[in-house]
Amino acid sequence: MTRLTANDVRCAIFASTLQQSDWPSADVVAAAISSVLADLGLAGCLSQMAQEFGDHPDSACERMRWADLVCSWLAPAPDGSLEVIA
């Protein structure tokens, strides 16, 4: 189990291979977050997100809005972090 801030989760969702058309379940989202963090680390997710905003700002904004929506599907822990179990 990893505790992440909501911003960390949004960034990981943004950098993941999840697609807006998939409408993934919370379990699939948690697995994707764990996978992308294992592959890229949080710094790599941030770097990928920054590059997308630089290269494709319009589509990156749309993906970030979707990542924010997906993040809202996950229940926060009492301290405000999100528990990702996968």
Q: Half-sphere exposure of 65 toward its Cβ, with a 13 Å CA cutoff?
A: 5
pTM greater than 0.85 (yes/no): no
Q: Tell me the pLDDT tens digit for each residue of 64-84.
A: 999 998 888 776 666 655 655
Q: Tell me the pLDDT tens digit for each residue of 34-75.
A: 999 999 999 999 999 999 999 999 999 999 999 998 888 776
Amino acid at residue number 15 = A
Q: Is the pLDDT of residue 85 over 60?
A: no
What is the helix (H) or strand (E) element at residue 55, kind and residue range? helix 26-55
E-assigned strand segments in the chain: 2-4, 82-84
The residue ranges of every structural domain in the chain are 2-84
pLDDT at 6: 83
